């Protein structure tokens, strides 16, 4: 098996395996966040219908990256169990604060995911149109989720700037972790 150079911070060469790894992890995390929110809010809450629709899109994103991981022989991230637990906990905790906090969580997460996907597409350039096309398609849906969450009152959450800042920092840390291990 060929030895591939490891991704390093500041390395301009797009490491496509690392990209697929972190994207699969992120989409998995997204399904866990929404699952945590739905576990708290239940299916009859008015916000649940909106969340369930976003959840089904995340499941489609995840299936696609699961297939890419298999097809391309990419090792999934070792921090998958972290995404499982932390994603669900984040979703549940924000939903316990109330539906608008759940939406604040979505707005924060999707803001970071949009930036992350934008960075990836830029660093891919003309490389790997299959992956770049997938990312563009999903990025558009993540932006819809962000806008849906804001329209549903995300910014009216008590302490919104702090909550949003914390969640965004957590997302960035989780993304960096999954790129590397």
Which amino acids are annotated as binding site for Fe cation, given as ranges? 27, 58, 61, 110, 142, 145
Number of chain residues interacting with Fe ion (CB under 5 A) = 6
Contact pick of 142, 157, 164, 167 for Fe ion (by CB under 5 A): 142
Q: How far is the CB of 17 from Fe ion (least distance, A)?
A: 20
**Residue 116 makes contact with Fe ion by CB under 5 A:** no
23 makes contact with Fe ion (CB under 5 A)? no
Q: Min. distance of Cβ 45 from Fe ion in angstroms?
A: 19
CB 62 to Fe ion: min, Å = 7
Give one DSSP letter per residue of 57-108, joined into a string: HHHHHHHHHHHHHHHTTPPPPTTHHHHHHHHHHHHHHHHHH-HHHHHHHHHH
Q: Of all helices (H) and strands (E), which one includes residue 104?
A: helix 99-124
Identify residues 43-102 at the interface with Fe ion (CB under 5 A): 58, 61
Please enumerate in sequence order all residues whose Cβ is within 8 A of that of 43, keeping only pairs 6 or more positions apart, or say none.
Answer: 52
């Amino acid at each position: 098996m060929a030895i591939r150079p490891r991704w390093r911070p500041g390395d301009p060469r797009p490491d496509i395996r690392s990209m697929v790894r972190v994207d699969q992890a992120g989409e998995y995390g997204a399904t866990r966040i929404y699952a945590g929110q739905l576990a708290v809010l239940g299916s009859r809450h008015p916000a649940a219908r909106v969340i369930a629709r976003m959840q089904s899109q995340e499941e489609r994103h995840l299936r696609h990256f699961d297939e890419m991981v298999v097809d391309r022989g990419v090792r999934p991230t070792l921090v998958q169990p972290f995404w499982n637990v932390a994603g669900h906990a984040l979703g549940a905790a924000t939903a316990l604060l109330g539906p608008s906090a759940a939406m604040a969580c979505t707005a924060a997460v999707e803001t970071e995911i949009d930036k992350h996907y934008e960075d990836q597409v830029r660093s891919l350039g003309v490389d790997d149109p299959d992956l770049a096309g997938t990312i563009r398609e999903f990025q558009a849906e993540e932006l819809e989720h962000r806008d849906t969450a804001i329209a549903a009152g995300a910014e009216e959450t008590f302490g919104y700037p702090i909550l949003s800042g914390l969640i965004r920092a957590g997302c960035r840390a989780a993304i960096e972790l999954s790129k590397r291990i």
